[in-house]
Amino acid sequence: PTRGLADEVVGLDMSVLIHAALAAPDDALELVLGNPAPAAALARVRNAVDWLTAHCKGVVCVFDGAPRPEKRAEEAQRKQRREDATRKARDAYRKIKNDPALRQLLREAASITPEFKRECVYTVVELGLRPIMAPFEADGQLAWLYKRGHASLIVTNDGDLLALGCRVLRIEPARPFMFMDGAPRVYDLGLAVARMPATQPVGPDLTWLLGNYGKDAASTVQLLLVWAALLGCDVNHRSDGKGK
């Protein structure tokens, strides 16, 4: 799935990029403790946007806008989970500062503050790009840009855009800035070849997919599509107890 990006106009999901920049435990801790986001987090955002600008034909930076009205209940649950994780992380920090459980709580608790989002918007402008504030979540705006030919590739970690037919350069959760190492992984629906084993009477073998995830492009695309269907894209319902 690796290819050059020189001819690509990428649509960049800025919320995904910002979350990746804040994933480092020390940076997430500052937010959880009520402090401003560290300069290192903003530098990661700047470096990633700058890298894409240097290697792509064009970059369109899309930020999340207002919460979607039909997702009020989901957003309220997410906010409550972050608040619960923040409280637990602060308690854990007072007791054991280097515990792996604390690092997980920090990832769950860290949220994008309005101040840091504004700094990222200013950074995009300073780099000579024009930021777009989506009416609601960035996903819909990015899909619209792709479908109308204003972007040829979407940079995100979300399987929703892939399920909607977009070509995706995926920001991998474990190594979100791996694409800057010169090996960007581009996925599209065409890679979902019909060579996957199937259960009876019909349907993909999820165990097989999980075991082969990341080993080749086809199984990765297949799993992302199945996962998007199970967890629910923004346009459908997810299975109970799944997703965030």
Of residues 85 and 38, which shows the higher confidence score? 38
- Six token digits for residue 66: 């207002």
Q: What is the pTM of this model?
A: 0.73
Buried b (16+ CB within 10 A) or exposed e, 189-214: eebbeeebeeeeeeebeeebbeebee
Q: How many CB atoms lie within 10 A of CB 10?
A: 24
Q: Compare 196 and 205 and report the one with higher pLDDT.
A: 205
pLDDT category of residue 191 using cuts at 50, 70 and 90: low
d(CA 224, CA 158): 8
The per-residue pLDDT for 242 is 47
pLDDT at position 96, please? 62
pLDDT at res. 16:
93
Q: What is the rounded CA–CA span in Å between residue 34 and residue 52? A: 31
pLDDT digits (tens, 9 = 90+) for 110-131: 678 889 999 999 999 999 999 9
- Positive or negative, the CA dihedral 21, 22, 25, 29 is positive
When pLDDT is cut at 50, 70 and 90, the band that residue 1 belongs to is very low
- Contact indicator for 158, 16 with CB cutoff of 8 Å: yes
Q: Above pLDDT 70, what percent of the chain? A: 64
**Band of residue 243 on the pLDDT scale cut at 50, 70, 90:** very low
CA 190 vs. chain centroid, Å, equals 21
Q: Where are the alpha helices (DSSP H) in the chain?
A: 14-21, 25-32, 39-55, 72-95, 100-109, 114-126, 138-147, 159-163, 206-212, 217-231
Q: Who has greater pLDDT, 154 or 201? A: 154
Arithmetic mean of pLDDT over the chain? 78
Greater pLDDT, 50 or 89: 50
pLDDT at 93: 65
What is the distance between the alpha carbons of residues 75 and 81, in angstroms, rounded to a whole number?
Answer: 10
- Residue 56's pLDDT is what? 94
Q: What is the pLDDT of residue 92?
A: 67
Q: CB neighbours (10 Å) of residue 155?
A: 31
Q: Is the pLDDT of residue 85 over 90?
A: no
Residues 15/171, Cβ–Cβ less than 8 Å: no
Is the confidence at residue 81, as pLDDT, over 60? Answer: yes
- Determine the number of helices (DSSP H) and then strands (DSSP E) in the chain: 10, 6
128-143 confidence digits (pLDDT tens)? 999 999 998 898 899 9
| Complete domains list, the chain, with CATH | 9-185 (3.40.50.1010), 188-244 (no CATH)
Phi-psi region of 155 (alpha: psi -120 to 50; beta: other; left: phi over 0): beta
Condensed to tens digits (0 to 9), the pLDDT of residues 7-17 reads 999 999 999 99
Instruction: Tell me if 164 sits within 8 A of 144, measured CB to CB.
Output: no
Q: Which of 44-53, 102-111, 175-184 has the lowest mean pLDDT?
A: 102-111
**How much is the pLDDT for 201?**
42
